[in-house]
Chain A
Amino acid sequence: MVESASMTTPLTPANPLHVLAAASRDVAAVRLAALAPAARLVFRGREAAIGPAGEAFGVPLPREACRFNTAGGRFAFWLGPDEWLLLVPNAEAAPLFTAIEAATTGLPHALVDVSERSVGIEVAGEKAAFVLNQGNPLDLSLAAFPIGMCTRTVFHKAEILLVRHAPDVFHLDVWRSFAPYVWELLEDARRELA
């Protein structure tokens, strides 16, 4: 299993959006921000494991398609009928991993640490949906994509996890190597905005 990362390292973690985010223009209508590092675990499993996994994580895993649950700064995103992304900003993955494994011992499941597979981007402001819709074909009206919804989808040619936290606040979770591509296209999409 994954060793604990609690041992301090002299090395600094890098975010592929660091340079782009630092140079980013402040636009009131749509703000872009690189989100803090987070622990990310993918949980897959049979029915019996789902409940205990949520209990161990502290957030019940949503059973409704394309929805997320949140409690105590932890998020459980539905990705598929037997697939969830468990995300905790500014946290270590290892203790979560250990706790969930302990709660699901003997119950068929899979838990994989993907903390560094992706990075988060916040797109917020009254024109957030307009900017996202330049590369995403979903209906982002509140009726069709309400607060609490999450789904894998596309932004231009990249796959993203798209999450709505508030009417004007979206989070994107993007695989690292696609993140600059997504960021640059988000920047391009808000060029016409003051």
Chain B
Amino acid sequence: MTNRFRTASGGRIDRAAPLSFRFDGQTFSGFKGDTLASALIANGVHLVGRSFKYHRPRGLLSAGSDEPNALVNVARDAARAAPNLRATQVEVYEGLKAESQNRWPSLAFDAGAVNDLASPFLPSGFYYKTFMWPAGAWKRFYEPKIRAMAGLGVAPTLPDPDRYTQNHVHCDVLVVGAGPAGLAAALAAAESGARVILCDEQAELGGSLLSETTATIEGQPAADWLAATLATLAGKDNVTLLPRTTAFGYYPHNLVALAERVTEHLAVPGAGLPRERLWQVRAKEVVLAAGALERPLVFPENDRPGVLLADSGRTYANRYGAKVGERAVIFTACDAGYRTALDLKAAGVTIVAVADLRTEVSGELPARALAAGIDVRPSTVLVGTKGRLRVSSAQFAKARNGEVGPTETIACDTVLMSGGFTPSVHLFSQSRGKLVWDGAAGAYLPGTSVERERSAGSCRGVYGLQRVLEDGYAQGEAAARAAATFTSPARGATPAPATPSRTIPASADDLGTAGFIGATPHGRNPALAKAFVDWQNDVTSKDILLATREGFRSIEHVKRYTTTGMATDQGKTSNMNTLGIVSEALDTPVPKIGLTTFRPPFTPTTFGLFAGAARGDVFDPLRKTAIHDWAAEQGAAFEDVGNWKRALYFPRAGAGGRMEDMHAAVARECKAVRASVGMFDASTLGKIEIVGPDAAEFMNRMYTNAWAKLEPGRLRYGVMLREDGFVMDDGVVGRMASDRFHVTTTTGGAPRVLAHMEDYLQTEWPDLDVWLTSTTEQWSVIAVQGPKAREVIAPLIEGIDLSKEGFPHMCVREGTILGVPTRLFSVSFTGELGFEINVPSAYGRAVWEAVHAAGERFGITPYGTETMHVLRAEKGYIIVGQETDGTATPDDANLGWAVGKAKKDFVGKRSLARAAMSAPDRRQLVGLKTTDPAVVLEEGAQIVADPSAPVPVPMLGFVTSSYHSAVLGRSIALAMVKGGRARIGTKLMVPMPTHAIEVEVVEPVFYDPKGDRLNG
């Protein structure tokens, strides 16, 4: 196809750089500098989508990010496919492939268009009213169907191969929007030496200046002034210019999130470059120069392809050299329609007629239109359009005082409408600034600020090129001045708008502030005339009127009931007209109707941008011990424990080369530990060094146990409670010296326990001379467990008497292992003779390998967390967080012995004194033995006395740990059971979906109940 609708010359496209692209499988040509939208228009293509609900054919409405219709899918390949892009923001590159959405089988013939014929049955609230029954059908049936019909785009199912990065930056002044106000603001701020960031969502900086053909600034054509200004800004070290960068979110304390599309416009993205970059800008001061959005007019069939916003039609002609048609009808409520008429006429478009809603048409632009011979019709409305996939005629009628006269049909191939301009206050509103209604401007304008920001130019209702430039300059200057005296991040009081400090002579067409809000009169049968308010969500004026008739008064309710303004365009084109319609229907002034809240993002933002680098292996820190790689080399299976990777078991090749499964490996590992010796990487245990003259006193207060009499060189099992009396953590504590404790915590509890201790130390007992230091990562911990443990380590250790008498169970000694300093614990979590070798982490693996080699003659067996769990369960040792759930007292968990009864106080003691904390029917730790020893209970299963009791069956407790014990040759389980200790010897039932399992309540120690093996 040729560029039949291209102007002969002009525009900012590079006519020397033609390129080809595909849209819906058809090849088109365009120029460098085109958007997909402008290139399609140059090729005479307006039909770009089907509407959300009625599947009506839709064309381009605008030329900017407010576009509601032209949502396309752009795919570089199957994985790099981005749905829901606005064609007006997609820059064309050689080979670009775009597809329209929401049509089946094709744009021209869409089967879903039957919805349009059925539209009397699709009123507002239709979804709420219809898809309510039967329960569950919404999720299973209605929603998927509606979603498929609604054409919300298709996300690729392949992993996204692109990269996204995030960057924190700080600046003195962030200027959002690089139109005339933003450019002037940036210039003023930059001249003061402030660190300035200027961003704009468009490919080129310049905003409305990019569409100016006749305006002049400081004696130069606007385009020349723009080029010179950008060159000046680019030449300054203190200025960062960010085109293709949307400020999409305004967060507390002047944190503004910018989405930069880095490679989206390139045919071949540069290696290593991210597709998008999230700029998290922390600005001392923000200048919002977001401009204004043109409002459509709400008249019947205003959604037909070929009907566009007037100023967008002008932008296509002036900026892109693309004519929106050959015969244009203008429908306007302000002078913008005349400006478009004049510029399009200059571009070679026939202006058929201008319908002006206003009775009085005066001023310079209408006068020039008349002088140019354009048919200007005051007090005139469009009451409809015709054409199948493109507008072919418009129906004119006189309208005075709501009376609509007879219609006249006039042929055309495009209709350009303008209801005036709405200041873009999205970011201001996001910053929690209060909007105020300005009756004269007919718009909501920024009022009281919350953040340290100020608006400049048309986004605060200042119009006229010179006034906008001067306002921008003044606000930029004031922002830089405020940033220079910035002392704290406290949010700002409303800045008095700076008054212009510099004259920036400029001449351009003055549009004034006239405009229209609401639906224009049409005199047609309201049931059959669809006048669209919200193009993207397919909401008509009729829908909004229906909502008001059904009793909705609050604009927030009307919005949710009709879904107007809730599409991805956030109602950029629809909000004000909705207000106007509700205002008229309820006969209530607009400011009394209220305004819906603007929320981030300003335009849709990719998930990739939010994820940034945090994906795959670096989604979260993946913590490995110093011994991890050894285990990996042995083929260990791993499990996640918090952020740690821990070896779960070490499968070996069995007979025939088949690898053991977990069951077989764990059975072998358990037997090896009980029969000879095993080794286990316990490095992830939390460790805290508690040092200072008051260390023992602090331990006394933090733990239930008594510490004062624990001699240096001894270990003790400690239990920590929260103040509410429930078990929080446990661990073995070594007293290294009178003023030094080596505390261990659970793997997952380490940060929590340290924070808990710091809390009490800093805020309750700052007088105590004691300090806490995390040593979790200082030490690798190698547990050597089993009857042969002493023999394994003996040859490696120096400086420690390892004899039974010299180093009994629950002691700590310092010495060296292979010359490496060690804190050696005689401790067991298996019930066997055991040692835990603490060595500085840098030597963790080397010492591990040395111990492994030394143990080979005993068949030393590395074991993982699963075996550790089985072994400790055989001994009835609890795991905090598995047997306990935050509601267990020490006594509940069989740890009553660890509570220092004589202590006057410790954290949690007072709570334990409450009667309920020692009630006999509390859940208590017990063991369970299934009657059938082969049956392994499910962890978490409920326990009852009589499964056939009437529902609700009283629940007595639940299974907390359950394993097959290879050593015992049967299943074992731990459980928390109401009054459990009194039930020992009785039978209970564990109901399962198909049957109930009989269990006997037993003491929670299944192996070596006397503990003889601990001492070797």
- Chain A interfacial positions (CB closer than 8 Å to B): 1-5, 7-16, 37, 42, 44-46, 82-83, 108-118, 130, 133-139, 141, 144, 156-158, 175-178, 180-181, 184-185, 188-189, 191-193
Tell whether B816 is near chain A: CB-to-CB under 8 Å. Answer: yes
Contact with A along B209-233 (1 / 0, CB 8 A): 0000000000000000000000000
7 contacts between A and B (CB under 8 A): A7-B819, A112-B689, A117-B778, A134-B168, A139-B282, A188-B613, A192-B272
* Contact residues of B: prevailing secondary structure: mixed
Tell whether B622 is near chain A: CB-to-CB under 8 Å. Answer: yes
Chain A residue at minimal CB-CB distance from B645: A177
Enumerate chain B residues within 8 angstroms of A188, measured Cβ to Cβ.
163, 165, 613, 618
Inter-subunit contact B777/A177 (CB<8 Å): yes
Q: Smallest Cβ distance from B950 to chain A, in angstroms? A: 51
Bound complex: CA A112 to CA B740 (Å):
10
Inter-subunit contact A177/B621 (CB<8 Å): yes
Q: Smallest Cβ distance from B835 to chain A, in angstroms? A: 17
Q: Smallest Cβ distance from A47 to chain B, in angstroms? A: 12
Of the 9-residue stretches B310-318, B838-846, B994-1002, which lies at the interface with chain A? B838-846
Chain A residue at minimal CB-CB distance from B844: A14
Question: Which of chain B's residues 831-869 have a Cβ closer than 8 Å to chain A?
Answer: 840-847, 850
Closest 7 CB pairs of A and B: A9-B819, A110-B691, A13-B842, A44-B771, A177-B623, A110-B771, A108-B769
Chain A residue at minimal CB-CB distance from B768: A108
Enumerate chain A residues within 8 angstroms of B773, measured Cβ to Cβ.
42, 44, 110, 112, 114
Q: Which of A11, A109, A112 sits near B820, CB closer than 8 Å? A: A11
Bound complex: CA A180 to CA B628 (Å):
13
Q: Smallest Cβ distance from A180 to chain B, in angstroms? A: 7
A112-B775, A117-B778, A118-B777 are contacts. A176–B613 as well, Cβ < 8 Å?
no
Chain B residue at minimal CB-CB distance from A42: B773
Contact with A along B606-626 (1 / 0, CB 8 A): 000000111001101111111
Inter-subunit contact B644/A177 (CB<8 Å): yes
Tell whether B821 is near chain A: CB-to-CB under 8 Å. Answer: yes
Having A141-B170, A157-B614, one finds 6 other A-B pairs with CB under 8 Å, namely: A2-B821, A5-B821, A16-B626, A118-B777, A133-B169, A192-B272
Enumerate chain A residues within 8 angstroms of B272, measured Cβ to Cβ.
191-193
Q: Smallest Cβ distance from A174 to chain B, in angstroms? A: 10
Inter-subunit contact A133/B168 (CB<8 Å): yes
Question: Which of chain B's residues 183-202 have a Cβ closer than 8 Å to chain A?
Answer: 195
Inter-subunit contact B770/A10 (CB<8 Å): no
Enumerate chain A residues within 8 angstroms of B165, measured Cβ to Cβ.
134, 188-189, 192
Q: Which of A4, A115, A178 sits near B621, CB closer than 8 Å? A: A178
A7-B816, A15-B842 are contacts. A192–B167 as well, Cβ < 8 Å?
no
Inter-subunit contact A14/B845 (CB<8 Å): yes
Inter-subunit contact B841/A12 (CB<8 Å): no
Bound complex: CA A1 to CA B614 (Å):
42
Bound complex: CA A36 to CA B778 (Å):
16
Tell whether B724 is near chain A: CB-to-CB under 8 Å. Answer: no
Chain B residue at minimal CB-CB distance from A45: B771
Chain A residue at minimal CB-CB distance from B616: A184
Inter-subunit contact B846/A11 (CB<8 Å): yes
Q: Smallest Cβ distance from A188 to chain B, in angstroms? A: 5
Chain B residue at minimal CB-CB distance from A156: B614
Bound complex: CA A44 to CA B770 (Å):
9
Contact with A along B442-455 (1 / 0, CB 8 A): 00000000000000
Chain B residue at minimal CB-CB distance from A2: B821
Bound complex: CA A155 to CA B736 (Å):
34
Tell whether B659 is near chain A: CB-to-CB under 8 Å. Answer: no
Interface centre among A14, A185, A193 (most CB of B within 10 A): A14
Question: Which of chain B's residues 228-281 have a Cβ closer than 8 Å to chain A?
Answer: 270, 272-274, 280
Chain B residue at minimal CB-CB distance from A5: B821
Inter-subunit contact A115/B778 (CB<8 Å): yes
Q: Smallest Cβ distance from A175 to chain B, in angstroms? A: 5
Inter-subunit contact A117/B777 (CB<8 Å): yes
Enumerate chain B residues within 8 angstroms of A185, measured Cβ to Cβ.
613, 618
A108-B693, A117-B775, A177-B777 are contacts. A134–B613 as well, Cβ < 8 Å?
yes
Bound complex: CA A136 to CA B776 (Å):
24
Bound complex: CA A188 to CA B164 (Å):
10
Bound complex: CA A7 to CA B797 (Å):
13
Bound complex: CA A188 to CA B625 (Å):
23
Inter-subunit contact A110/B770 (CB<8 Å): yes
Enumerate chain A residues within 8 angstroms of B844, measured Cβ to Cβ.
14
Contact with A along B130-171 (1 / 0, CB 8 A): 000000000000000000000000000000000101111110
Inter-subunit contact B737/A184 (CB<8 Å): no
Question: Which of chain B's residues 791-844 have a Cβ closer than 8 Å to chain A?
Answer: 799, 814-816, 818-821, 840-844
Enumerate chain B residues within 8 angstroms of A192, measured Cβ to Cβ.
165, 270, 272-274
Inter-subunit contact A11/B818 (CB<8 Å): yes
Enumerate chain A residues within 8 angstroms of B777, measured Cβ to Cβ.
116-118, 175-177
Enumerate chain B residues within 8 angstroms of A133, measured Cβ to Cβ.
167-169
Bound complex: CA A13 to CA B270 (Å):
41
A14-B845, A111-B691, A144-B170 are contacts. A156–B618 as well, Cβ < 8 Å?
yes
A3-B821, A191-B272 are contacts. A130–B167 as well, Cβ < 8 Å?
yes
Inter-subunit contact A116/B841 (CB<8 Å): yes
Tell whether B692 is near chain A: CB-to-CB under 8 Å. Answer: yes
Enumerate chain B residues within 8 angstroms of A116, measured Cβ to Cβ.
777-779, 840-843
A13-B842, A14-B846 are contacts. A181–B622 as well, Cβ < 8 Å?
yes
Q: Smallest Cβ distance from B245 to chain A, in angstroms? A: 16
Bound complex: CA A14 to CA B842 (Å):
5
Question: Which of chain B's residues 871-924 have a Cβ closer than 8 Å to chain A?
Answer: none
Question: Which of chain B's residues 522-558 have a Cβ closer than 8 Å to chain A?
Answer: none
Inter-subunit contact A10/B621 (CB<8 Å): no
A156-B614, A189-B165 are contacts. A178–B623 as well, Cβ < 8 Å?
yes
Chain A residue at minimal CB-CB distance from B770: A110
Q: Which of A12, A117, A144 sits near B846, CB closer than 8 Å? A: A12
Q: Which of B195, B270, B814 sits near A2, CB closer than 8 Å? A: B814
Contact with A along B773-792 (1 / 0, CB 8 A): 11111110000000000000
Enumerate chain A residues within 8 angstroms of B614, measured Cβ to Cβ.
156-157
